[in-house]
Amino acid sequence: MPDPALFPLAPWRRLVSAELRPANLATPTYAGPGHRGLQEQVARYVGLSRSVAASGEDVLLTTGAQQALDLVARVVLSPGDVVAVEDPGYTAAHRLFETHGARLVGVPVDAEGLVVDALPGRARLVYVTPSHQFPTGVAMSLARRTALLQWAVRHDAVVVEDDYDSEFRFADRPLEPLQSIDRDGRVVYIGSFSKTLLPLLRVGYAIAPASLQPALREAKRVTDWDSDGVTQGALARFMAEGLLGAHVRRASAVYGERRKALLAGLHEDFADSLEVVPSAAGLHVCARLRAPHASDTDVVARAAVHGVVVEALSPRFRDQPRQPGLVLGFGAIAVGRIPQALALLRKAL
């Protein structure tokens, strides 16, 4: 989770107040599916920061990334369709696809990301987090990205690219997203501001191929009708004034120090029990338990008794053999408290 203490509250309150002026509240009707100014700002932002090719007209604003996934599922899937998901992976997305009657197949993840050769040929949709795989943190290699797009063309499938938690990057130049190298209109690119700013803002977006955009906009209209114009308007101003970029740079420096302290402690005191999975972005670190039959859920429960919150890796597996491990978030803990937290975690282990 991001640190709420880093949220730029003063300028945000100013911008929200500006959106609540009587002139902006005078129209007694629904504003429509999204704030036009924010659509333009999002297109500009993802173009500059992630090389995503899109105009404001291509941006569909949603209530977080979860609604974006829901809209794609409504448009693309029929009951019984197969959805391929990363295994381990993001279980909230898995549950969502299942509510639409999809049959999910877990596909293994290795050091290069999703194993494309293991994809089921009958999959109608492939859901991936290539920039920062959840929960392992690995990045999908360029070879795998190319292979995935070629696979989607051969099998007439849609690829949903969830650019999860990629704004905060601490090493390596990020690879271009799937969307920017997609030449056949197969990729729906999804993102949100939940990690960049705060989850409670509930602002996300989907950038889809032209062939899917009308259906996605209609799905948004009939399920949600309107959006939070105040929050979206304030965010548009926030981005236009350069405040988002400044916040990301400032927060990245803070998170980078926390990540550095966490990794140093893990390598120094946990080398005998934990194997850290290399990653270059995000607000968490994943580490596998070296004892293959250890219970990561027991470790999590014992750590909680000591006042330390970590997450077990094994419940994130679906069809692949479960591997015990820990997911350690460093976003919302001060750097000076990390050594104490690690000492308590060591006691739990």
The model's pLDDT over 297-308, given as tens digits with 9 standing for 90+, comes to 999 999 999 999
Cα–chain-centroid distance for residue 255? 17
pTM, whole model, 2 decimals?
0.93
Return mean pLDDT, the chain. Answer: 92
The whole-angstrom separation of Cα 96 and Cα 113 is 22
> Order of strands, edge to edge, in the sheet holding 113-114?
59-62, 204-207, 187-192, 158-162, 123-128, 82-87, 103-110, 113-114
At 28 the pLDDT is: 58
DSSP state of 198: -
**By CB neighbour count within 10 A (0-12 exposed, 13-18 middle, 19+ buried), where does 51 fall?**
middle
Largest CA distance in the chain: 64
At 267 the pLDDT is: 95
Cα–chain-centroid distance for residue 247? 18
The whole-angstrom separation of Cα 54 and Cα 57 is 8
The whole-angstrom separation of Cα 339 and Cα 270 is 12
Task: Write the CB contacts of 205 (distance below 8 Å, at least 6 apart in sequence).
Answer: 42, 59, 60, 61, 62, 68, 190, 191, 192
At 26 the pLDDT is: 63
pLDDT tens figures, 169-204:
887 777 889 999 999 999 999 999 988 888 888 899
At 171 the pLDDT is: 79
pLDDT tens figures, 195-236:
888 888 889 999 999 999 999 999 999 988 777 888 999 999
Helices 9-19 and 229-240: crossing angle, nearest 10°?
120
pLDDT tens figures, 51-87:
898 999 999 999 989 999 999 999 999 999 999 999 9
Contact 127, 162 (CB under 8 A): yes
> Coil, strand, or helix at residue 299?
helix
Task: Name which of 67, 316, 36 is nearest 190 in CA terms.
Answer: 67
Domains for the chain: give ranges and CATH numbers.
4-243 (3.40.640.10), 245-348 (3.90.1150.10)
The whole-angstrom separation of Cα 290 and Cα 313 is 13
Q: For residue 52, what are the CA distances in angstroms to 59, 143, 172, 175, 255?
A: 11, 19, 18, 11, 25
pLDDT tens figures, 101-143:
999 999 999 999 999 999 999 999 999 999 999 999 999 999 9
Contact 133, 107 (CB under 8 A): no
208-228 as b/e: b if 16+ CB within 10 A: bbeebbeebbebbeeebeebb
Residue 346 clears pLDDT 90, i.e. is over it:
yes
Q: What is the CA radius of gyration of the chain?
A: 21
